Amino acid sequence: MLWDIFCRVIDNHGDLGVCWRLSADLASRGHHIRLWVDDASALTWMAPQAQLNDQGWAQLRFETGHIEVRPWMAALNEASVASEVWIEAFGCELPAHFVNWAAHNTNSEDKKNHPVWLNLEYLSAENYVERSHKLPSPIMAGPLKGRTKWFFYPGFTEKTGGLIRESHQSGASAAALTQAAIPQLQRSSLFCYEPEALSEALLLKSFAAPQHQWLVAHGRGAKAFDQALTHIPQNAMPLFQKLPPVSQSEFDRLLAQCDLNFVRGEDSLVRALWAGKAFIWHIYPQEDGAHGPKLEAFLEWLQAPQCLRLFHLKWNGLTPGALPEVDLPLWQACVQSARARLMAQIDLVSQLLQFVAEKR
């Protein structure tokens, strides 16, 4: 099928990261994707395997499917092919030019000929996700009046839309990790915003071993790391390496190779779960404090032990007190258990395909 997927980059390219993984997974299964983006600059490092077209926008071809990245305002014409599925990622609305084109080129009295229109929501473990998943939203006004949009919620339980999980992810790797001896902390990856507890973390005994190394991702986290170093005594300076921007596949390998991963946002949280290694999640902070209950709901689903829960809350500035020391065997066992539960569920793209087939 032909899919139109719409993505607006808010600030940290995480929305684009999710949409590119979704597009790539669909294309690897033989589908064709038009990915509409208002800022695709991050694809130069996020997906270097893609080829740029004459306008400087990316194309990626698979054996049977492909992705075409289109500028947000690059309108279709009368000769353009209508797609079977529209996906608004994270509540972004369709561009006005696309709405007008669709009203004239996909309008039909037979609703079965309408594209399946989905709003792919943000990831959360909160209770409302199961209640809201697959609910309809009738369009009451405008050129597409009479159509229906459907809410599709990713999630961590069987009553949600699941998580993006490519075919190369397997239960075998998780079993191997479980059976392997868990070493002392040697390498920790750091991908975060600006946690106030970062300086404190750098001084924990868990990271004080001479052989321990921090692998610091580019961007806001790297700047926060530099600032944290100004509060560290010279005789306690950590061993670290600054990393350049890396592709999604390289980032996935980085998480699998580290003993402890500090991740942020939505896409890297899912990647940390598939890596099966101990991790700390820096949730995107919101001014209204909505990130607090969201983090608590995730920790509850994770069945996080008290020390891991406390570290998360302190790392996210949601509780006072000191950071606990890292309990690597306990934390990794917790993540491994969560990963096993997720591997038993149907992945997001498979669920999307099933839902679209039902509506068509």
Tell me which residues are annotated as active site: 15, 266
Other CB atoms within a 10 A radius of the CB of residue 176 amount to 11
Structure tokens at 86: 């529209």
Structure tokens at 167: 């075919």
Between CA 22 and CA 347 the distance in angstroms is 11
Between CA 327 and CA 314 the distance in angstroms is 16
Cβ pair 334, 308 in contact under 8 A:
yes
Between CA 336 and CA 328 the distance in angstroms is 12
Between CA 122 and CA 266 the distance in angstroms is 8
Q: Which residue has the tokens 């609910």?
A: 135
Query: Burial, 350: exposed, middle or buried (Cβ in 10 Å; 0-12, 13-18, 19+)?
Result: middle
